[in-house]
Structure 1
Amino acid sequence: MKMTWQPEWATSNRKPDFVDNDDGGASNRGIQYGWARMPAVDILKLQANEGESYGKNLKLLFAASGDLRNVIKTVGNIPATYNGSISVTVNDRDFNTVGRNALVLLVALAVPDDSAAVYCMLHLNHSSMNRQGDLDLLNTNVRPLIQDVVDKIAGKAAETLQKKTWKFGANELCLTLSKTCWVAMLSLLEVPPALTTKSAQRAYTDVTMARKDSIESQYMRHSPAHRVCKEQFRKDGILLPFGNSREAFTIPNPMFFQGVTWRMRDYAEDFEGWDLAEVLHLDSGLATNDLYGKIFVGVKAALTRFRGVLNSRASAFALTNLQAMSLSDSLPHNTFTRIEYCKVSDRGNPDTAKVLERLGPLLQNPRANAHATLLTLFTCAVVQMSPEPFPDSEMKLEVARVDKLMPLTIKMLTGDGGVWGVRMQLLTSATLLVRDNEKYFSKYMQRHKFNRAAQANGMAMKEPHTIIDKWPLRSKMSPDQEGAKEEFKTRLASTYYGRERYVEWQRTI
C-alpha cells in the first residue's frame, strides 16, 4: 500500500493557526516548526568537568539568556564542596526580558525571608496573577532600589547608559541600562490603572483559549488527566497544584501585560522550559497526574536551591541589554568558564563562524581551563537539510519504527482527515522522534563548514560532550528495551521534536 505523506506540513497551502512572526527574525516557517523554549540546562556540570572541589572562581556568560531558567539551574546545582565565588553575566537584547530578569534577581538577593522570596519569584515568572503580598514585597524591597536610580538620572539624556551596582552582603547585582529603560523598569512593577482582575483574566483567556484547533493539536499527545491540567492553566494562568485555592491571586502580573493586553504568545507553555521526562518523575503527592502540580514542585525546588547557593557563597551578577555579537567589544577576553549562546545560525541569527569569532575569544583558553566550553544550540538545522518531499523509502522505515512503539491504525497510515487531521499530525510528530537526525545534521555541518570556521577562530568541537547530550530530547531506547514505549510516549507528549542539537566548543589556542 502506498502511503500519502507530506512531512511536517511543509507542502500544505494552508497557513497554520499557530504561526507568529514575532520571534526575533524567525520566519513563519520557523514558528510552524515549533521552536519552543528548551528545557533548563546546567551549563557547568562541575562534577563531570573541573571537579566538585575546583579551586578557582567560576565566571559564566549567558550571551542571549531569555529567561533565567538556565541561570537558576546552573547556579542551584553548584555542589557545596566548591568553595570559590561565582560571577554571572546575563545579557539579552530584549529590554522586557532583561527587566524581568533583573527584578527576579533583586527579589532573590534583597528579600530576607527565603520562603517569601521563592514564592514571589515563582509567580513573577510563571503566573498571570499575583497575590497582594507579592506586590507588597516588591514595593517594599525592590521598587525603592529602582526609584533611587531613576531619581538620580532624571536630568540626563534618554539614551544615556547608567550602571548601578547593589550589594547584598557577600552578593552583588550590577545592572546597566539606558535612562529610558531605567524609567521603564518601574512600569514592570506597576499594574496599568485600566487593568482590573476581571479584565486581566479576560485578556489572558482571549489569547490562550482563542484557537481551538491549535489547543487540540497540543492536547492530542497528552493523557486525559494532563489535558484537564493544561485546560485549567489555560483558563487561569496561575502555577499552582490542581485544586489549590486561587482566591488570593487577584493582582494582574504587570510583567505579563502590555497595557491591558496579554503580551505572551498563545502557544507558550510553562513546562516548555523544563524536561517533561524529569517533570513526570517529580513527587506531587497523592495527585500523581497533576502535571502543573509537578511543575510547581520542580520550579519551587530549583528556586530554593538557587537561593540556598546565594546564601552560602559570594556571587556577582551583571545584567546587560546588548546585541550578543557586540559583547566581545565590552567584556574581557580569555575570561569565562562557560558561555551559553543558544540563538544560532539556523534561526536567522549570526552564522556559526561569526558566533565563534565574536564569542570564542571571551572563553578561557586551554592553558587557563581545559574544560572551558561554549555551548550552542541548533533547533531546525535538521529541517533545513531534510528533503522535500520526504522519500517514501525513508518514510516507510520511520513508520515501521513508530509501529513498534505505539499502535498505528489504518486511518493514521492513509492520512484520514487530511494533512491537518489529528491522526496525521500525531503520526508526523511520532516519526520525527525516530528520524536519523545525525545524518541530516552532518550535512548541515558540512554545508556551513563547521570545521573551517572552528579552525579559523582557534576553536574545535568537543568530543565527547561533557555538559549535555548532543540530542537530549530524542528517544534513546530501542523498541525492545523495557521502558521504551513509556519513554516514547513522554517524548511525544512534550513540545519538542527530538531534532534539537547541542554543540559544545572549546578553544584550541
Structure 2
Amino acid sequence: MAAKLWYNAVVAGLRKLRDDIKDRGDKVESLESLMSFGMGSSWNSTTVSYLMCGNATNLKSCLSPGFLVCDKCHLIKYCSEKCRTTHWPKHRSYCSHPYLGETWQPSWVTERRDPTFLYASNLLTLYRPTIDFWGDLPAMDCLQLPANEGSDYLRPMGDLKLCFAASGDIRNLIRTINSLPADYSGYCDVLLNETNPVLVNRNLVLLFILLSSGPSLEEAAEIATHLMYSAALPGGGAEYVKRCVTFIYRDCDADLSFQRCLDTRGEGKVYSVQPSTGTKRLLEMTHSTYPLSSALKSMKDTTMAPDQLDSNEKYFSSLKPAHRMSFQRYRETGILAPFSMTTVNFTQPNRFLFSPQGTWMVPEDANPLFGWDVSRVQASGIKHGTTPEDIMGCLFFHIKDELREFAKRVKELKIDIHVTSFDAGILAKGITIGALPAFEDTSFDRIVTGNLVDFVGMRTCLADWGPLLNRENEFASVLMQTKAWDRPRATNQWGPHAMELLMEKCNKIPGLEVKIKSIFAQGLRSPALFRIFDSLDAFSENEGAFQDYLRDQDVDESVAAFDLRLRTKHRVHPKRFGIPLDAPGWQKLPDLSSDEFYDIFTLGGANLPVRFLEFEAMGSTTSEWTGEF
C-alpha cells in the first residue's frame, strides 16, 4: 500500500512538473523540483497544484483531476459521474445549505428583530489580544516601473533601494518584487520595518521558508500560504517550520541585539536587526504545546460566537450565494484551501496565529480576502481548475502562485532584504547617522510609510523620511496613506439616526423606483439598506474636506521645509480606490460597474475613505505643483 501511494505521488509530481514546463515554457529549476519534504496539503502529503476530484473521503481518495462541476453549487468538481455519486452523501449537506439560496436572509430578518450590531456597545466586550496579521488594504507595486524609471527604454535600469517603514505583512513587498522585469540586472535592497515584534518575526520566518534552499519552490510556497492564513498546518509542514525557527533563533539570548544574515537560493541575503527581547514572544508561541482541538475551539469561539452572528451575516448578505458558502467552509475548517479538499492532513495548530496559551489572535472582522486583487485571485483559481465560485480555493492558489513567483524572483535576481523592528522615527534617524550600512547613503527610491501620518502627523513623517529620498532619481517618492483624515466631518457615518434620515429623504423623492422603496419598507432590518449605506463613502465627493485636512496638516509649509512637493498627478498608486492611476485629473469619484464594485470593495475589502499621497523632490520634473491636491 505504501509503495503504491509513493508511486502515485511521484507520478503526480512528474505530471505536474511536465505541465508546468509546457504551460510556462520554464526550464527545469533544479533537482529540488523532484524532491519532497512531505509538507504538502493533500492527504498523502504531496502539494496541491491543481483541483483534484472532490471524492475525497478517506485514504482511498481519488487522485484524478476534477473537471465535472457540480451544477447546483459550482463549488466542487469530480473526475467522473461515479465519483460524483459516491461523494453525494457527504456533499449533500453543503449543496443544499441555506447560504446557497438566492432568497437567503439574515437571522435578524427571519426572526423579525433588530440586528444586535445596530445598538451594540463595546463596553461589555471582553478583552482579547489581537494582531492585524493580514492587513486590510490591497497590496500595491510601489515601483510601477513602466510609468516611472522604466518609461525611458533607452536608459538602462539602475539599482533600487526600497523602504517599507511600517509594514506589518509582506504583501506589498511581494507585489513589488513580482512586478520587476524578468531581465532586471540591477541590485535591489529592501528595508522591511515594523514595530510589532510578532509581525516582524513572523515575516522573517516566512521569508526564510520561501527563500532558503531545501524544499522546492512549490512546497515552500504552499506551507508559507498556510502559515499566513490557515489555523492548522500539515504535520510535516509544522515540523519544518519548527526546524526553521530553531535555526533562525539559535542563541538569540546571547546579546541585547538580535542580528542574523540568512542565505537565500540566489545571490541575495536576508538580514535581520532587532532587539533580542522582540524574539521572545514568537518563541513562546512556537514552543507552546496546546493541542489542535483547543486551538480550533478558540478560533470558532471567536469567529462563530453567537454574539458575532449578526455581524457575520451582515457581511454574508452582501456576498453572492456561492461565495457565502465558500467563506463559511473556511470558517468551519480554518484552512485556506479549495472547497473540496480534505483537511485530514492538517494535524498541528498554526502557532503563529495563536497566543502561547492557544487563544486565537486574529481580529473578528479580519478577512483573508481583504488585501488581494479579486480579479487576479479568480484568474489564478481558474488556471488551476477551481471555479470562480470557490473564492477561497481561488485565493489559496493565487497566494501560492504569488509566493512561488516571489521566491523564484529572489532566486534569479540580486535582492537583499533587511528586516528590522524599530520605531519608524528612530529608524529614520539611525539610517541618517549610518546605523544600517546597506543604507548609509540615505537614498531610497521609494519610501512607503503606510498610515504613519495618522499617528505622528504629516510634518513629522516628512521630517523623518523626506531627507532619505534619493535626490538623483527624479522618480523617487515618499508614499503615504491616511485612514483618519478628519473622518467625522468628511465621510458618511452610519447609525440608526443617519439611516432613518436617509430613508425619510429618499421616500420624499417623487418617482423613486419601487424596488428602492421596498428596501426601505423593512426599515432598519433591511440588509440591502445596510449595503447602500456602507457604500456611500465610495461615491461621496469629499475633495473640499480633504483639502481642509491638508491645510490642517500644514502640507504647504512642510513640503517647503524639506524641499519636497506633493504630486498632483500620481505615478504609483491612485489617490483613492476605484479610480485608475491614469484617470484624468477631473475624475474625483469611482466609475465602476456593479461587478467591479463587488470585486474591489465587497470581496476585496478596499477601505472606502482611504486617501493616498505621493511626495517627490522639489527638483523633480515628473509633475508640477499647483497648490491643490
Q: TM-score, normalised by structure 1?
A: 0.83
Given candidates 434, 444, 449, the residue that maps to 2:539 is 434
Structure 1 residues 277, 106: CA separation in 2 closer, same or farther (over 3 Å shift)?
A: same
Distance verdict in 2 for CA 1:352–1:20, change over 3 Å: farther
Does 2:192 correspond to 1:90? yes
**Counterpart Cα distance in 2 of 1:389 and 1:167:** 50
Q: Which of 476, 480, 493 is equivalent to 1:372?
A: 476
Match of 1:485 in 2: 594
Deviations 1:381-408 (A, max 9, x none): 262432789999x979x979xxx9x995
2:475 match: secondary structure: coil
Alpha-carbon distance, 1:230 to partner: 1.1
Worse overlay, 443-452 or 63-72 = 443-452
Q: 1:345 aligns with which of 437, 450, 453?
A: 453
The secondary structure found in structure 2 opposite 1:432 is helix
Are 1:304 and 2:404 matched, yes or no? yes
Deviation at 1:363, TM superposition (A): 1.3
Larger relative contact order (Cα-Cα within 8 Å, sequence gap ≥ 6):
1
Which consecutive residues of structure 1, in runs of 5 or more, have no partner in the other structure?
A: 1-8, 26-30
Residues 63-120 of structure 1, C-alpha deviations (whole Å, 9 max, x = no match): 0001111111111211112201111111111000001000001112224321111112
Deviation at 1:358, TM superposition (A): 0.6
Shift of 1:173: 1.3
Give the whole-Å Cα distance in 1 for the aligned partners of 2:442 and 2:418.
18
Letter in 2 for 1:245: T
Cα 1:408/1:175, change in 2 over 3 Å: farther
Aligned residue runs from structure 1 range 260-339, under 5 A:
260-284=358-382, 285-331=385-431, 332=440, 334-339=442-447
Task: Tell me, in whole angstroms, the C-alpha distance in 2 between the residues paired with 1:318 and 1:18.
Answer: 42
1:453 to 553, 558, 561: 558
Distance 2:473 2:506 in 1: 46
Structure 1 residue 465 displacement after superposition? 0.9
- In the other structure, the counterpart of 1:167 is 263
Spell out the pairing of 1:106-125 with structure 2 (5 A cutoff).
106-112=208-214, 113-125=216-228
Within 1, Cα distance between the matches of 2:611 and 2:129?
19
SS of alignment partner, residue 229 of structure 1: helix
Following the alignment from structure 2 to structure 1, what is the Cα–Cα distance between the partners of residues 366 and 282?
Answer: 24
Letter in 2 for 1:303: L
- CA 100–205 in structure 1, closer or farther in 2 if over 3 Å, else same: same
3-state SS of paired residue (1:381):
coil
Matched, 1:55 2:157: yes
Partner of 1:146: 249
Number of aligned residue pairs: 469
| Paired residue secondary structure (1:464) | coil
Structure 1 pair 465–18 and aligned structure 2 pair: CA distance change class (3 A) = farther
Residues 140-184 of structure 1 show CA distances to partners (whole Å, capped at 9, x for unaligned) of: 44522322x32xx43x4xxx2232222335121111122323344
Counterpart of 1:410 in structure 2 is 517
Contact 1:344-1:350 at 8 Å conserved across structures: yes
Q: Are the counterparts in 1 of residues 492 and 536 from structure 2 also a CA contact under 8 Å? A: no
CA distance in 1, matches of 2:189, 2:601: 38
Q: SS of the counterpart of 2:161? A: strand
Q: Report the 3-state secondary structure (helix = DSSP H, G, I; strand = E; otherwise coil) of the residue aligned with 1:299.
A: helix
Query: Could you tell me which amino acid in structure 2 is paired with residue 86 of structure 1?
Result: C
- Residue by residue, what CA displacement relative to the aligned partner does 1:333-390 show, whole Å, maximum 9, x if unpaired? 64111111112334xx11011111111111111xx10001111011232624327899
- Does structure 2 conserve the Cα–Cα contact (< 8 Å) formed by 1:106 and 1:142? no
Aligned equivalents of 1:134, 1:237: Cα separation in 2: 16
> How far did residue 469 of structure 1 move?
1.1
**CA distance, structure 1, for counterparts of residue 515 and residue 225 of structure 2:** 41
Deviation at 1:474, TM superposition (A): 5.7
Matches within 5 A, 1:227-242: 227-242=324-339
Partners of 1:240 and 1:292 within 8 A in 2: yes
* Aligned counterparts of 2:163 and 2:493: Cα–Cα separation in 1: 41
> Which whole-Å CA distance do the structure 2 matches of 1:198 and 1:433 have between them?
42
Alignment of 1:15-30 (within 5 A): 15=121
SS at match of 1:371: coil
Distance in 2, Cα, partners of 1:407 & 1:307? 54
1:471 aligned to 2:576?
yes
2:386·2:394 contact (CA, 8 Å) conserved in 1? no
1:508 is the counterpart of 2:585: no
User: 2: CA distance between counterparts of 1:196 and 1:492?
Assistant: 37
Cα distance, 1:13 vs. partner? 6.1
C-alpha separation between the residues in 2 aligned to 1:407 and 1:76?
49
Larger Rg: 2
Once the two structures are overlaid, the 10-residue window that deviates more, 51-60 or 127-136, is 51-60
| 1:127 maps onto 2:226 in alignment | no
How far apart are residue 483 of structure 1 and its match?
Answer: 7.2
Q: Could you tell me how far 1:131 is from its partner in structure 2? A: 0.8
Over aligned residue pairs, what C-alpha RMSD do you find? 3.5
Residue matched to 2:465: 359
Query: Is it true that 1:38 corresponds to 2:156 in the alignment?
Result: no
For the residue of structure 2 that corresponds to 1:496, the secondary structure is coil
Aligned residue number for residue 177 of structure 1: 274
* Gap change, CA 1:286 and 1:100, over 3 Å in 2: closer
Change (3 A) 1:339 1:329: same
Q: Deviation at 1:20?
A: 10
Whole-angstrom CA distance in 2 between matches of 1:278 and 1:135: 29
Q: Flag the 1:458–1:483 CA change in 2: closer, same or farther, 3 A.
A: closer
Deviation at 1:492, TM superposition (A): 4.7
Cα deviations by residue, 1:221-240 (Å, 9 ceiling, x for unpaired):
10111111111111222111
Taking the aligned partners of 2:345 and 2:517, their CA distance within structure 1 comes to 50
Indicate conservation of the 8 Å contact 2:298/2:360, yes or no: yes
Equivalent residue number for residue 78 of structure 1:
180
Aligned residue type for 1:381 = W
Q: Distance in 2 between matches of 1:24 and 1:407?
A: 44
Structure 2 gap segments, 5+ residues each: 1-114, 432-439, 620-629
Following the alignment from structure 1 to structure 2, what is the Cα–Cα distance between the partners of residues 451 and 507?
14
Aligned to 2:490: 386
Percent identity of paired positions between Structure 1 and Structure 2:
23
Q: Which residue of the partner structure matches residue 205 of structure 1? A: 300
Decide whether aligned partners of structure 1 residues 508 and 126 sit closer, same or farther in structure 2, where only a CA change above 3 A counts: same
Alignment check: 8 A CA contact 1:172 1:317 kept: yes
Deviation at 1:319, TM superposition (A): 1.0
Cα distance between partner residues in 1 of 2:591 and 2:544: 27
Q: Which SS does the other structure have where 1:39 is aligned?
A: coil
Q: Is the 8 A contact 2:238 2:350 kept in 1?
A: no
